[in-house]
Every structure is written in C-alpha cells, then in structure tokens.
Amino acid sequence: MISTSLLCGMFLGLGACLAFSTPAGAQDGGANPRVEIETTEGNIVLELDPAKAPITVENFLKYADDGFYNGLVFHRVISGFMIQGGGHDATLREKSEGVRASIKNESSNGLSNKRGTVAMARKNDPNSATCQFYINHADNAPLDTYGGGYTVFGKVVEGMDVVDAIAKTPVQDRGGLQNVPVKPITIKAIKRVKS
C-alpha cells in the first residue's frame, strides 16, 4: 500500500502515487460521492471520482461502508510528501481481518498525485492495493508512473488544514515502521456524506 510500508520508494524507499484533475463524470443525481474522514485531529472530506477510477472508488467505499477503517491510524506521515493510513491500529498491528483481494491498478486514468489528492498505497506489484490510502501533502507527479503508478481516486474538498496539521505532527521510527506519529492520529470513522 504505498507499499504497505513502501510509499514512494523513489523518494524515501517507500513506494509511489498519482495526481488529480477536476472530477469528470457524474453519478446518480449528478454528484460524485463524498466521504468524511473523522480523525482525532479534525475532519477531512474527500470527493471521489468513480468516472476515472471506478474499481478503486468502489473498493474504498466498501471498506468505508463496512466500518473497516474505524479505529485505525495514520501510521506514516511525511511533511511535504504525504500522510498514509487505513492499515494499522494504534499499536501498529497491521489489520488483516476484513482485508479483501487486491484490486487492479487504475493509475493511467488521467488523475495526478497533486497536493490534496487521495491515492491508493500498494506493494511493489502495481496491482496489489487493498485498503491503505494516502493523501498527498505536496505535488508528487513522479508517483503517477513510478513502478507502474499509484492510483489517484479523489481529492480533499474540505479539511486540507487538517491534512496540513497531521503532516506537521512529530514522528519517530517505531514497531518496524518509519515516520510514525509520536501521538497516534486515529481515524474514528470514514462515512459517506451528501455532496
């Protein structure tokens, strides 16, 4: 997932990602789906793009609807790069219960890893994304194609100040992971909201 531990290998031995443009297609009533990430640092609202990343959006919404993300943390935070979560709890145990099969990489969908976009983390195999995601804290265009590319599937429409605050939190290496927030930043819930 950005290599469950690799995000952007090109930058920090981690993995890679992708960018974003204005949402293209409309769905059911003309609006793209939105979700709110409720965190201990504040809320972030994402607008997803099912026209450009249908498989990825469906996958993410299934995890959100199932309550999979509730209680997990942002376990990798790199200011000026990205914040990654959706796979580990506060003890840094990787959640395995409820993880579904990997999905097809949709990184060639025309969206780019720009500041404020959300993309899927993955392992070295481009088609290995499952549940982990990251929000770009800066423009990271090299992730669009690096190692097969990282799929961007939406963007922050509210709460970029919360992303900025999370990105600035002090980090440490812990539990075999790098850039772990010293104070856990918990995802209380991810739920759909009206557009």
Query: From CA 153, how far away is CA 48, in angstroms rounded?
Result: 6
Strand partners, 77: 83
Is 3 a member of any domain?
A: no
Helix (H) or strand (E) holding 181: strand 177-181
φ and ψ at residue 144, rounded to 5 degrees:
-60, -30
Is 60 a member of any domain?
A: yes
Helix (H) or strand (E) holding 179: strand 177-181
Is 4 a member of any domain?
A: no
DSSP per position, 100-151: ---B---TTSS-B--TTEEEE---SSTT-B-S-EEEESS--GGGGTGGG---
- Residue 17 belongs to domain spanning: 9-193
Task: Give 195's Cβ-side CA count (13 Å radius).
Answer: 13
Token digits of residue 147: 């190692």
CATH number at residue 94: 2.40.100.10
Q: Residue 192: helix, strand or coil by DSSP?
A: strand
pLDDT tens, residue order, the chain (195 aa): 444 333 434 333 333 333 333 333 333 456 999 999 999 999 999 999 999 999 999 999 999 999 999 999 999 999 999 999 999 999 999 999 999 999 999 999 999 999 999 999 999 999 999 999 999 999 999 999 999 999 999 999 999 999 999 999 999 999 899 999 999 999 999 999 997
Does the pTM of the predicted model rise above 0.85? yes
Token digits of residue 167: 């990105």
Nearest to 74 by CA among 41, 101, 30: 41
Strand partners, 82: 78, 136
- Number of domains, the chain: 1
Q: Are 195 and 47 in contact (CB under 8 A)?
A: yes
Is 1 a member of any domain?
A: no
At residue 181, the pLDDT reads 98
Is 82 a member of any domain?
A: yes
At residue 195, the pLDDT reads 78
- CA distance readout (Å), 106 to 24, 94, 111, 126, 144: 15, 24, 10, 9, 10
